[in-house]
Structure 1
Amino acid sequence: MAIIMTLLMDTCITVLVFYVLLNLRTRHPNRLPPGPTPWPIVGNLPHLGPLPHHTLAAFAKKYGPLIHLRFGFVDVVVASSPTVASQFLRDNDLNFASRPPNSGAKHMAYNYQDLVFAPYGPRWTMLRKICKDHLFSSKALDNFRHVREEEVAILTRILASAGESTVKLSQLLNVCTANTLARMMLDMRLFGDGNGSGDPKADEFKDMVVELMTLAGKFNIGDFIPMLDWMDLQGVTTKMKKVHDRFDSFLDNILDEHKIRKGAHDDMLSTLISLKEDVNGEGGKLSDIEIKALLLNLFSAGTDTSSSSIEWTMAELIRNPQLLKQAQEEMDIVVGRDRLVTESDLTQLTFLHAIVKESFRLHPSTPLSLPRIASESCEVNGYHIPKGSTLLVNIWAIGRHPEVWADPLEFRPARFLPGGEKPGVNVKVNDFEVLPFGAGRRICAGMSLALKMVHLLIATLIQAFDWELANGLDPERLNMEEEFGISVQKAEPLMVHPRPRLAPHTYI
């Protein structure tokens, strides 16, 4: 015990000395953005609280749309307005094209072998090209349109058969998106038999994904004070390693099953396995680790962000029944009540698109952009941004900026309709007012697929059902509190009773 205490004391003294020396060394001759005074050693980390995007938005109100913080030994800058975000992600995009080192990428994402956290360079460019050309191209997505519509129809049958049972909507959405991705990637379903039967593995999968996304969003003190990393003071690294082992076992099992099955596979994984692009500069195929890392990105971010976006949208529509009725009236006019909505109908559903944009604005699935790092010093908004600074874009704050949005806390899709104040906003391009998928070189590679899934699922839930809250809860009392991670979950899952509103044969 005495040895441990001595070691801890020596470590603390070393950290303090390094902190003092670092502050002496990094006094910038140029003007840094304003921000709150950091604490000794840990900097502003204790200020963040359980909902960092809220805290940083409050700082922006006090100090302005560009603020400077210290997380341990690391300079951090936060952009909280469309104008400042565009200066980083458009004007200085190349300078901020890489990710800072972090324990989540190291311990959960196969030591930066994935697409999301891989450093910018030839290997990342090749992985991005592979995804663009083989996974998310228009042709690839069109080829699997029937899969998306079939899985959404299965979800509809399950909901229609619920009767008086209470439904945990996020769980069923997660299963639907996971099975859709699995059929596209692996030519197989992961959960359930397609007839509404449950699968206990689905609960485990949902919990595993949420835990991974929550841990990946943690501000781990070891990332910002490297000499404390080995101590794992918050227990984050230990948890990351455990969830990685669970996910790795999950991926190994589905890869093994894919290899065992006979015959040709009409799926994306077979395409990845057959690739012979020069990924590593050696003329070889993608390694098994690289393939698993890509699958990890798809099955975590691809399911969690979509299902949470849909859950937030349905929560808002249930709280605003007049908007739900208006959306259903549009469905009845465009699609009718004798068949389910399809992807080909979506372009005609103007109000639906406004609903989705408004949900992306008010409830971005990723409230803080994934961090980027400054390769070189630069100037943004008249302030000096030091080399090595971590950049965070507060997407949540931008969507609620009172100088950008009228009545920013009100869920009002009409703002995106002709005659509204923001009719031309397009989440696919860099408008910087609504940034659900980020912007610049690091914009979400799966954006096109995510948009198809989110629009089709929300359209189907609106068209096919009326909705009541569990236990007769008044919609005005619905809990809309958040739980922070890379993606923000509802603190209390949406528990509902779906009531079918279409012709009975549409649910068969």
Structure 2
Amino acid sequence: MVLDEHIDHTGTSDHEKDMVDACRSQLTTNEMKALLMNVLNGAIDTTTTTMVWTMSEIIKNPRVMQKLQEEIRRCVGRKSRVEESDVANMTYLKLVVKEALRLHSTVPFLLTRECVKHCQIGGYDIFPGTRVLINAWGIGRDPKVWTESASIFNPERLENLELDRSEMIPFGGGRRACPAASVATQIVEYTIANLFYSFDWQLPSGMKNEELDMEEVGSLIVVRKTPLSLVPVKHDWQD
């Protein structure tokens, strides 16, 4: 379907070229199908994991959950569900998702890069041809950038904060950055907005928020060691 749309619109005046067009000039149709399937399959695990970590941090911090729900319900009003246009006005939601990405970079180590010229990092000589592994997880928790509270979930820290592109890179950076970063972020924001608009959330069996286990496991993708279990309670709209 994606390929057919690009083929049908090729050469038209309103067609804006993108990554698919660039790949079509060098790859066969079957190769393109395989490439797009890799992109879609890769996005499923990472996006889902980001949603789970975002939910976990919100549930563990009742203050954040209350503030987030107030914003969502104020922006949406009394509709059956959140619409995409509503999310654009949810500034706190965007801070919450961004803070979750800072703390829980789903892919902790970015794809390796090859050094093209001699440089020094932290007093170490990096020579041409050296393969460099970038620790995105560690960068997001660096106390030199985020102070001693780096490990604490606090969306307000990002308010009015101008970041260097290298200070938080859950989607990588430069020419090899994730091409679906914008779409993935929008999907997470939209899903979280709907979940917290329609429901209030509780931990099972009377568990307290601060007791929620946040231990991580994994290598290529960092997930929760203990699956997240929550109880949805339909929100009671009182006039």
Q: TM-score under structure 2 normalisation?
A: 0.84
SS at match of 1:370: coil
1:285 to partner: Cα distance: 5.7
| CA apart distance, 1:450 | 0.6
% of aligned pairs identical?
35
Q: Which residue of 2 aligns with 1:380?
A: 120
Q: Please name the residue that 2:75 is paired with.
A: 334
Give 4+ residue runs of structure 1 displaced > 4 Å after superposition.
272-280
2:190 matched to 1:456? yes
Aligned to 1:476: 210
2:156 partner SS: helix
Give the CA deviation at 1:269. 4.0
Q: How does 1:45-444 map to 2 (within 5 A)?
A: 267-271=1-5, 279=23, 286-299=28-41, 301-374=42-115, 376-381=116-121, 383-406=124-147, 407-418=149-160, 423-425=161-163, 431-444=165-178
Distance 1:473 1:385, change over 3 A: same
**Cα deviations across residues 443-493 of structure 1 (Å, max 9, x unaligned)?**
101112111101111111221211112333222121111111322111111
Rate the CA distance shift 1:502–1:372 in 2: closer, same or farther, 3 A. farther
Distance 2:229 2:166 in 1: 33
Residue type at the aligned position of 2:118: C
Structure 1: 5+ residue stretches without partners: 1-266, 504-508
- SS at 1:393 equivalent: coil
1:424 alignment partner AA: E
- Please tell me the root mean square deviation across aligned C-alpha atoms, in Å: 2.4
Aligned-partner Cα distance in 1 for 2:235–2:144? 41
Paired residues of 1:272 and 1:291 also in contact (CA < 8 A) = no
How far did 1:373 drift?
Answer: 2.1
Asked whether the 8 Å contact 2:107–2:170 carries over to 1, the reply is yes
- Do 1:483 and 1:491's aligned partners in 2 also have CA atoms closer than 8 Å? yes
Maintained 8 Å contact 1:438/1:444: yes
Structure 2 SS opposite 1:333 = helix
Aligned to 1:254: none
Distance, in Å, in 1 between the alignment partners of 2:181 and 2:57 is 23
SS of residue paired to 1:365: coil
1:98-126 Cα distance to aligned partner (Å, 9 max, x none): xxxxxxxxxxxxxxxxxxxxxxxxxxxxx
Structure 2, unmatched stretches of 5+, are 11-19
**Displacement of 1:398:** 1.2
Q: Measured at CA, do residues 386 and 330 of structure 1 come closer, stay the same or move farther in structure 2, by a change above 3 Å?
A: same
Shift in alpha-carbon separation, 1:278–1:320, aligned structure 2, 3 A: closer
CA offsets 1:254-292 (integer angstroms, 9 cap, x no match): xxxxxxxxxxxxx31433677796858xx6763413421
Paired residue secondary structure (1:380) = strand
In the superposition, the TM-score normalised over structure 1's length comes to 0.41
Quick check: 1:317–1:324 contact (8 Å CA) kept in 2? yes
How far apart are 1:372 and its partner, in Å?
1.8
State the shift of 1:293 in Å: 2.7
The residue identity in structure 1 corresponding to 2:216 is E
